[in-house]
Structure 1
Amino acid sequence: MADFNDELTAQSEKPYIASNYIPASTVQVHASNLLQLPNGDLLCAWFGGSQEGISDICVHISRLRRGGRSWSQPQTISDDLNRSEQNPVLFSNPRTQELWVLYTAQPAGNQDKAVVRYRVSKDEGQSWSEAKNLFDDEGLFIRQPITVLRDGTWVLPAWYCRTPPGYRWIGNDDISVIKYTHDNGKTWSEKEVPESTGAVHMNIKPLQDGTYIAFYRSRWADNIYTSTSKDCLDWSAPAPTSLPNPNSGICFDVLPDGRLIIVCNDSRFESGQAKREGLYDDITPEDDKRQNQPKQTKEAIWGVARKTMTVGVSSDRGQTWKTKVLQEGDGFCMTNNSRTKENRELSYPSIRVDGDTVNVAFTFWRQRIKFFRFSVDWVDS
């Protein structure tokens, strides 16, 4: 049984590293996303309820005030009683300073029926507008934040959960796209990332030379993938890095000295490992039209242990990495049922660099969001 301490407690002062857990008001929590406000407060959003895919899953948010040592009690900020509301992404509109939360809303485990919605706060997250659909597209999913280009264009990475007619989604044919807007979210255009089948959760950052780099989760549970762009609109095809990936979320940022810092699982699928036939085995019937689908060149792999949350640093744009363990764990995730407390995954990290301080949040056993704060010196030690 984990000791879910609320107080930010240092494990080391030199180099500095401290951690705590964000309070939870639901049985299951997952998919955190961090955002630092102009006043220095840190916000964390995630989804929580009884179990992923069930309609009581809603978006929740908590705040760590600047200089504070504990997170506020969660506030629920979505309320569709018929859909599972997942993968929140926080965004601060640079023109108006309004706070946005974007998230997906889907019936049961049918990600191919998801829509992307948003709400806006004019008081830094104390109150929110009514939910609206951001796009008309069905089957569109998000996980990573908006990038604002030098000319003011917003770029939102996304992916389509596609499946043959008459079958349920299992992730075999997902592709990445970018949605972009020149008018602060009023109208949007789209470009597909070439040859991106299976490469999802696209995370984009600008580099010091003015170009852009992205990293992706792999449906094939093999490696993290990467691609580059000169303008953040037209991207190269994703190619595998040396970092492993168990078909789980990743997140990266850029340090003040230009190095890349990534948080990810140190695991991948190996021949002979146990795997699941689909993500939502716990809540869907056996005859759910997931079996006997038309064969793809590759098939998504689920159930690989999401273990050992690792920090990686690269000085050569992701070609090579120096890694360090942030959290040990066996990462068992053959069930999404949090009521039985069998799930021990470490997953879905979010990272925000604030000068020489690094903030990281991730799913801990689907029971809490765990938060770490450490100095860049800790990474290099």
Structure 2
Amino acid sequence: MHKELVIKHLQQNFCHASTLVKLRMGGLMCCWFSGSHEGEADVAIYGARRVDDTGWSAPVKLADGAAANWNPVLFYREDGTLLLFYKQGQQIASWRTLVMQSADDGVSWSEPAELVPGDVSGGRGPVRNKPIRLASGRVLAGASTEHGIWQAFADISDDDGCTWRKSSPVAIANLRYEAGEKTAESDIAVSAQSFYGRGVIQPSMWQSADGGVHMLLRSSEGFIYRADSADEGETWSEAYPITLPNNNSGLDLVRLADGKLLLVCNPVAANWGMRSPLSLFASEDDGYTWSKLCDLETSKGEFSYPAIIAAGEDVYVSYTYDRKNIAVVSVKVGKNSLRSM
């Protein structure tokens, strides 16, 4: 296992919420948001590339605006166009999704455009984690809304990300929430509005060998939740808990070529609990049971919001490194490499 810090000289007070992609020309690209404090108007989207042995390039500001910017997500179209999705807005409940395009592996970018023109439902497309491409070619983006009771859904594109439509909602049945009720006290440096609301958000998805589609979800209820679809993401089951704890913080997973799933999360059972340790888990039965492979971080601090991708036997994980930097870890997952603890 090898770890690097992406930012050599941090020029803003904090950085958070990274996304990672393997570049088609070779190397990696990582993006995140950074500014004075999460949710402030000066928060912008930054990116860096690692294309040779000299390490990560200096961060470049990619997107800014009059309101706060959040949660970048990188994803390739089949034609090789690299997309950068991100959220914009002071209020999470009403933020909108913007998208930029690059034809040269992230060297230069188009001007941002609204992903779903006129959307007022709180943002479309991927809310935090990478979309997935199904065997049929359909693209699913894990989305969610935060209007009191948090709900998730899949945003569906059958034209490689040009247009989108919403699936049925994914929610925890019979959940109760009083308007204006604060659900936790925490010293985590998030926007204060985050401590209101209850439910499931920020899906990470995969397709199993039988064609079924599944998502794992961040929750306010002390556990990771799961939902399943038998019709390529059109309709979903109710969300139900799995055995792994969740601290109401981001998670991400990837399906390897052999069918094994790798999941990165903070296995902490308290709502808005500690964002350490950050751990890597594996499942060989389509996500029904999980075994711990290793801890990526165990120190006191915030090690959170991971993004995980795979390229052959190489797996890469990026994550917030104590809000002071973005870390990228690379691991081998072949027969003679990482095994369950």
Q: Structure 1 length normalisation: TM-score?
A: 0.76
Q: CA deviation at 1:114?
A: 0.5
Give the residue type in structure 1 aligned to 2:165. S
Larger radius of gyration: 1
Choose from 175, 182, 185 the match for 2:151.
Answer: 175
Q: CA deviation at 1:233?
A: 2.5
Choose from 306, 311, 315 the match for 2:284.
Answer: 315
User: Do 1:179 and 1:189's aligned partners in 2 also have CA atoms closer than 8 Å?
Assistant: yes
CA displacement, residues 178-214 of structure 1 (integer Å, 9 cap, x when unaligned): 2212233343211133434711111111223332221
Q: 1:193 and 1:93 mapped to 2: Cα distance?
A: 25
Q: 1:155 and 1:260 mapped to 2: Cα distance?
A: 18
SS in 1 for 2:338: helix
Give the residue type in structure 1 aligned to 2:71. N
Spell out the pairing of 1:1-381 with structure 2 (5 A cutoff): 17-23=1-7, 24-65=10-51, 68=53, 70-80=55-65, 82-94=66-78, 96-107=79-90, 110-135=91-116, 136-138=118-120, 139-140=122-123, 142-162=127-147, 172-196=148-172, 198-220=199-221, 222-230=222-230, 231-269=232-270, 301-302=271-272, 304-323=273-292, 324-330=294-300, 344-376=301-333, 377-380=336-339
SS in 1 for 2:319: strand
User: Do 1:241 and 1:318's aligned partners in 2 also have CA atoms closer than 8 Å?
Assistant: no
Q: CA deviation at 1:69?
A: 5.6
Give the residue type in structure 2 aligned to 1:133. E
CA displacement, residues 141-172 of structure 1 (integer Å, 9 cap, x when unaligned): 6111222233332222111121xxxxxxxxx4
Q: CA deviation at 1:321?
A: 1.4
User: Do 2:75 and 2:131's aligned partners in 1 also have CA atoms closer than 8 Å?
Assistant: yes
Q: 2:112 and 2:155 mapped to 1: Cα distance?
A: 19
Q: 2:54 and 2:245 mapped to 1: Cα distance?
A: 33
SS in 2 for 1:112: helix
CA displacement, residues 222-241 of structure 1 (integer Å, 9 cap, x when unaligned): 01111222323222222111
User: Do 2:19 and 2:31's aligned partners in 1 also have CA atoms closer than 8 Å?
Assistant: yes
Q: 2:251 and 2:92 mapped to 1: Cα distance?
A: 19
Q: 2:23 and 2:48 mapped to 1: Cα distance?
A: 13
User: Could you say if the C-alpha distance between residues 69 and 207 of structure 1 is closer, same or farther in structure 2, counting changes exceeding 3 Å?
Assistant: farther
Give the residue type in structure 1 aligned to 2:92. Q
CA displacement, residues 352-376 of structure 1 (integer Å, 9 cap, x when unaligned): 1111111111001101011111111
User: Do 2:17 and 2:305's aligned partners in 1 also have CA atoms closer than 8 Å?
Assistant: yes
SS in 1 for 2:211: coil
Q: CA deviation at 1:347?
A: 0.4
Aligned residue number for residue 335 of structure 1: none
Which structure 2 residue ranges, 5 or more long, are not aligned?
Answer: 173-197
Quick check: 227-236 or 126-135, which moved more?
Answer: 227-236
Aligned residue number for residue 3 of structure 1: none
Q: 2:283 and 2:138 mapped to 1: Cα distance?
A: 28
Q: 2:140 and 2:256 mapped to 1: Cα distance?
A: 21
User: Do 1:200 and 1:219's aligned partners in 2 also have CA atoms closer than 8 Å?
Assistant: no
SS in 1 for 2:149: coil
Q: 1:186 and 1:356 mapped to 2: Cα distance?
A: 31
Quick check: 260-269 or 132-141, which moved more?
Answer: 132-141
Q: 2:281 and 2:326 mapped to 1: Cα distance?
A: 20
Seq. identity, % = 30
User: Could you say if the C-alpha distance between residues 20 and 185 of structure 1 is closer, same or farther in structure 2, counting changes exceeding 3 Å?
Assistant: closer
User: Do 2:229 and 2:236's aligned partners in 1 also have CA atoms closer than 8 Å?
Assistant: yes
Q: 1:55 and 1:193 mapped to 2: Cα distance?
A: 30
Q: CA deviation at 1:63?
A: 1.0
Q: 1:355 and 1:137 mapped to 2: Cα distance?
A: 38
Q: 1:363 and 1:194 mapped to 2: Cα distance?
A: 27
User: Do 2:77 and 2:161's aligned partners in 1 also have CA atoms closer than 8 Å?
Assistant: no
